[in-house]
């Protein structure tokens, strides 16, 4: 949007009067002219606004970064009102139709589509780094049989940093490249190991003769056959899903990767932070929630009642709505086109009928129209994962595999950005000040501090009255 305003002043030139914001601090009556660049004002420009010489200066308050640009980036462009998503300027639908996930990963990281030679070399490199050290295998084997696969993935990605200590040379371009290759190559291997660990099945080693998604299917589902032959329709559907999930600018997990990476830790540790953020139900877990919702609805006959419940705020229509998209999420439209291809292979799933009918009803309903609520990326993706026979615990893992290229691209961009400093927000302090320390004997018997965290008090046993020392 900022670019559309045509008011850019990145050359360090003097901004015109229209490119400024006049602010009057009514506490002092002083006025300030703040420069507007690329649709933003700098938060640090407010620091000069003080009520006295020793005043710290004005800060901005934005707890969820809802209106704060934390970086400048040229990787992913979203226009939420128009339903537009582009990677490095290329529309997502063209990439899904004509490209492959590995080519898109190259585009995200290196900024341009590769030549034939560059692509061949990139695919060769990724294919030949899919194996993990045998000790990583033992590491995964150490988890309990029912460990959550995202927990295993998170730990295993962090553990990779101990196998590649040179990755901490983050100013070395070769090391940065190798970390990108290794993470993209090994993430499907770690994901498949976690899946087979839960099932008690032997892990399947990567097969270099298969495509990137084909190899993943092999590591997941190969049993006694000499070579697993992936169905090309499933390979294509998976590849498209992975293109769609590869990047989405400054979302929660990408922000985590950048924030942790800004401490100059190695990229494996920074990406482990991204996996941890994605694990949370408000981020990577919505696809699973859609599936549970469709199960609850049970039949298309129950849709009107279900939607009435949503309108009464008894529940949410999962897979609908988005903080940025106020139009049809372009990713949802593309996934929907591929659902049929997957069901052709796996057999039809009655939940698809419910999902399609539910979407129709919602898009016709004033409640959803008024609020600009449309299907998002998670509305149909869970159906594909279920059709592939994946347990719901694996759904977020399926998101983490492709998002790795986005995390790596964003980490690399952050590392090379001259404006990067360690991420270190300010706070508004709301606690007590300058209290004198009291000896424990004097504290005894006094009332508990009102904000003591509950977990710090001894559990109450009703038969024994209130716990002592509370
Ligand atoms: N079902 C019913 N009502 C909804 C929904 C929904 N899914 N989403 C938003 N609304 C209503 C909301 O109640 C509010 O109504 P009102 O103005 O009357 O109070 C209005 O629409 C605006 O919603 P909001 O909560 O202010 O919007 P937000 O930007 O804070 O939340 C969201 C975005 C994605 C968290 C939310 O739409 C939601 O919870 N959706 C369901 C969960 C989901 O599908 N999440 C996946 C997001 S896509 C994956 C990704 O990119 O990370």
Q: Is 133 a catalytic residue?
A: no
Tens digit of pLDDT for each residue in 129-175?
Answer: 999 999 999 999 999 999 999 999 999 999 999 999 999 999 999 99
pLDDT grade for 451, boundaries at 50, 70 and 90? low
Point out the catalytic residue in the list 129, 133, 148, 283. 283
276 close to ligand 1 (CB < 6 Angstrom): no
Percent of the chain with pLDDT over 70: 91
User: At residue 9, does pLDDT exceed 80?
Assistant: no
> In 10 A of CB 239, how many CB atoms?
24
Point out the catalytic residue in the list 248, 322, 329, 338. 322
User: Within 13 Å and on the Cβ side, how many CA atoms surround 384?
Assistant: 28
213 close to ligand 1 (CB < 6 Angstrom): no
- Tell me the pLDDT of the chain averaged across its residues: 91
User: At residue 464, does pLDDT exceed 50?
Assistant: no
Q: Say what the pLDDT of residue 1 is.
A: 32
Distance CA 383, CA 352 (A): 7
pLDDT grade for 453, boundaries at 50, 70 and 90? low
Residue pointed to by tokens 């045998």: 134
Tens digit of pLDDT for each residue in 280-303?
Answer: 878 887 888 898 899 999 999 999
User: Residue 343 Cα, ligand 1 centroid: separation in angstroms?
Assistant: 29
286 close to ligand 1 (CB < 6 Angstrom): yes
Reading the block at residue 265, the tokens are: 């830790």
Q: Say what the pLDDT of residue 18 is.
A: 80
Mean pLDDT to the nearest integer, 434-444 = 92
User: Residue 375 Cα, ligand 1 centroid: separation in angstroms?
Assistant: 11
pTM for the full predicted model: 0.88
Of ligand 1's listed atoms, the one at least distance from the Cα of 371 is: 21
255 close to ligand 1 (CB < 6 Angstrom): no
Of ligand 1's listed atoms, the one at least distance from the Cα of 252 is: 52
User: Residue 320 Cα, ligand 1 centroid: separation in angstroms?
Assistant: 7
Distance CA 30, CA 24 (A): 6
Of ligand 1's listed atoms, the one at least distance from the Cα of 379 is: 44
Q: Is 322 a catalytic residue?
A: yes
Protein residue whose Cα sits closest to atom 40 of ligand 1: 321
Tens digit of pLDDT for each residue in 353-411?
Answer: 999 999 999 999 999 999 999 999 889 898 889 888 898 899 999 999 999 999 999 99
Q: Say what the pLDDT of residue 344 is.
A: 87
User: At residue 465, does pLDDT exceed 80?
Assistant: no
User: At residue 275, does pLDDT exceed 80?
Assistant: yes
Tens digit of pLDDT for each residue in 313-328?
Answer: 999 999 999 888 888 8
Q: Say what the pLDDT of residue 278 is.
A: 94
Nearest to 378 by CA among 236, 278, 255: 278
Q: Say what the pLDDT of residue 467 is.
A: 36
292 close to ligand 1 (CB < 6 Angstrom): no
- For residues 59 and 8, the model is more confident at 59
């Amino acid at each position: 949007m900022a670019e559309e305003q045509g008011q850019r002043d990145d050359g360090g030139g003097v901004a015109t009067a229209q490119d400024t914001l006049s602010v009057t601090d009514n506490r002092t009556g002083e006025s300030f002219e703040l420069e507007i660049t690329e649709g933003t004002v700098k938060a640090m420009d407010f620091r000069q606004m003080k009520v006295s010489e020793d005043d710290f200066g004005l800060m901005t308050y934005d707890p969820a970064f809802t209106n704060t640009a934390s970086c400048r980036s040229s990787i992913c462009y979203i226009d939420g009102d128009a339903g537009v998503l582009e990677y490095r300027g290329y529309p997502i639908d063209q990439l899904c139709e004509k490209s492959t996930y590995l080519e898109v990963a190259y585009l995200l990281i290196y900024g341009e589509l590769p030549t034939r030679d560059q692509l061949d070399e990139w695919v060769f490199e990724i294919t030949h780094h899919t194996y993990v050290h045998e000790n990583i295998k033992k590491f995964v084997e150490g988890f309990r049989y029912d460990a959550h696969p995202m927990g295993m993935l998170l730990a295993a990605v962090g553990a990779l940093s101990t196998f590649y200590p040179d990755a901490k040379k983050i100013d070395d371009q070769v090391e940065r490249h190798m970390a990108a290759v290794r993470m993209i190559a090994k993430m499907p291997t770690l994901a498949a190991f976690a899946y087979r660990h839960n099932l008690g099945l032997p892990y399947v080693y990567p097969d270099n003769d298969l495509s990137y998604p084909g190899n993943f299917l092999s590591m997941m589902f190969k049993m006694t056959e000499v070579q697993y032959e992936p169905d090309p329709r499933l390979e294509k559907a998976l590849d498209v899903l992975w293109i769609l999930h590869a990047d989405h600018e400054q979302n929660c997990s990408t922000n985590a990767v950048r924030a942790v990476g800004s401490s100059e830790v190695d990229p494996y540790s920074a990406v482990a932070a991204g996996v941890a953020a994605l694990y949370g139900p408000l981020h990577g877990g919505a696809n699973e929630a859609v599936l549970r919702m469709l199960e609850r609805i049970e039949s298309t006959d129950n849709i009107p009642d279900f939607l009435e419940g949503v309108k009464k705020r008894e529940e949410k229509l999962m897979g609908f709505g988005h903080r940025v998209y106020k139009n049809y999420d372009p990713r949802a439209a593309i996934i929907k086109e591929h659902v049929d291809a997957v069901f052709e292979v796996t057999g039809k799933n009655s939940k698809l009928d419910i999902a399609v009918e539910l979407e129709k009803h919602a898009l016709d309903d004033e409640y959803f129209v008024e609020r600009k609520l449309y299907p998002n990326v998670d509305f149909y993706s869970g159906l594909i994962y279920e059709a592939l026979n994946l347990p719901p615990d694996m759904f977020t893992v399926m998101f983490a595999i492709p998002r790795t290229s986005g995390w790596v691209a964003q980490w690399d961009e952050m590392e090379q950005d001259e404006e990067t400093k360690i991420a270190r927000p300010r706070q508004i302090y709301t606690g007590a000040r300058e209290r004198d320390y009291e000896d424990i004997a004097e504290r005894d018997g006094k009332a508990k501090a009102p904000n003591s965290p509950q977990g710090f008090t001894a559990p109450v046993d009703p038969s024994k009255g209130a716990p002592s020392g509370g």
